[in-house]
Homo-oligomer: A and B are copies of this chain.
Amino acid sequence: MKDKIALEEHVSTPLNNSLWDSAGEASRNGKAYMDDVEKRLLDVDLLLETMDRNGIDVAVMSLTSPGTQALLDPAKACDFAVRSNDWMAEKVVSRAPKRLRAFATVALQSPRHAADELERAVKTLGAKGAMINGYTNVGSADGAQYLDEKPVWEFWDRVAALDVPVYLHPREPMPDQCRMYDGYPSLVGSAMGFGVDTAVHAVRLILSGLFDRYPNLIVILGHLGEGLPFLLPRIEHRLIKQSEGIGAGSLKLRPCEYLSRNFYLTTSGQFNTRPLHATISEVGVEHVLFSVDYPYESMEEGGQWFDNTVMNENDRRMIGRTNAQRLLRL
């Protein structure tokens, strides 16, 4: 397939690099791997060349994790968001405006500023929505604000008005969530820990009633929905059963109905056919999107898998391109 669209693709900036714990990343993820990742995060030529070689027509770029989410000083976070979005527009998107688009960076330490900055990014810079890397540190390194919390609804109000999607990207779990991984640090840093935090984050959004207030709101999840196509039916079953606790009682729909109505799930970093089939089966092919998670994942590996795996050509076209065109109005 020659004209795929990918939505979880990353760059960095000099400003973002100043926050980057290069040694820590290398120790967690391997030095050779991280050297390649760090080079690619700053090289737009190499990005375009890699897209060309792998049949990716359009990539929606975003600032690599953790971005603003980890900045403790709200004013600095807001400034960081503005400067990151400007950089993205000037140094990345402008290089190939038909090929590269952007998800905005926002500083949820101030939901109002995040809303204003999203509006600026969308209306002035052409951003297609926002990318948010998990919970946001508020007040201290220990303070975590999830997107369902009431102060953030001011931000969602603007998201709904702008009618753009928010990509909810994983972030490393809070340090005290990690005791169960003792002895297996790779489980935290890469796959399982990140995924659990994001899956819980998405379930919080569902249970908060956010999608009853904004029925058209769209949240995008990577990694085929962080396991939710498989896990949410059970969670829903228990919540309904235990009706005296918090549950589905106050919601208009069942949790799984929000998943298939208000979420789009991408293939980023989940180049596995059976989970893809399970995802299509649970939420419908209309709500599945191709993505890679470049440069942490390989466009070559993801693209070859996607182009060749067991899938009918109508589904491949929807997942690979037309769903994203419709969602992002490309």
A-to-B contact residues, CB < 8 Å: 28-33, 135, 144, 146, 148-149, 173-174, 176-177, 179-181, 183-187, 189-192, 195-197, 199-201, 203-204, 207, 223-224, 227, 229-231, 233-235, 237-239, 241-247, 257, 260-261, 269-275, 277-278, 281-287, 297, 309-310, 312-315, 318
B173 touches A237 (CB 8 A): no
Q: Which chain B residue shows the least CB distance to A281?
A: B274
Q: How far is the CA of A153 from the CA of B269 in the complex (A)?
A: 34
Residues of the B chain whose Cβ atoms lie less than 8 Å from the Cβ of A310: 273-274, 309-310
23 chain-A/chain-B pairs, Cβ below 8 angstroms: A28-B242, A135-B180, A144-B179, A146-B180, A173-B180, A180-B200, A180-B201, A186-B238, A186-B246, A189-B245, A227-B227, A230-B275, A230-B278, A237-B270, A261-B314, A274-B281, A274-B282, A278-B281, A283-B312, A284-B318, A286-B314, A286-B318, A309-B310
B190 touches A238 (CB 8 A): yes
- Shortest CB distance A319–B (Å): 10
Residues of the B chain whose Cβ atoms lie less than 8 Å from the Cβ of A207: 184, 187
A243 touches B30 (CB 8 A): yes
Q: How far is the CA of A232 from the CA of B273 in the complex (A)?
A: 13
Q: Rank and list the top 5 A-B pairs by shortest CB-CB distance, nearest first.
A: A30-B244, A284-B314, A278-B278, A230-B230, A233-B272
Return the contact of A177 from the options B177, B224, B229, B269 (Cβ within 8 A): B177
Residues of the B chain whose Cβ atoms lie less than 8 Å from the Cβ of A184: 203-204, 207, 246
A231 touches B227 (CB 8 A): yes
Q: How far is the CA of A28 from the CA of B318 in the complex (A)?
A: 40
Interface of A is mostly: helix
Return the contact of A270 from the options B146, B233, B244 (Cβ within 8 A): B233
B282 touches A285 (CB 8 A): no
A179 touches B180 (CB 8 A): no
B174 touches A187 (CB 8 A): no
Return the contact of A244 from the options B33, B197, B309 (Cβ within 8 A): B33
Q: How far is the CA of A148 from the CA of B195 in the complex (A)?
A: 22
With contacts A184-B207, A190-B242, A192-B231 known, what are 12 further pairs, Cβ within 8 A?
A29-B244, A135-B180, A190-B238, A190-B239, A191-B231, A191-B234, A192-B203, A229-B230, A237-B271, A274-B282, A278-B281, A309-B310
Return the contact of A186 from the options B30, B149, B245, B318 (Cβ within 8 A): B245
Q: How far is the CA of A242 from the CA of B32 in the complex (A)?
A: 9
B314 touches A287 (CB 8 A): yes
- Shortest CB distance A238–B (Å): 4
Q: How far is the CA of A31 from the CA of B245 in the complex (A)?
A: 10
B277 touches A281 (CB 8 A): yes
Tell me which of A203, A207, A281 has the highest count of chain B C-beta atoms within 10 A of its own C-beta.
A281
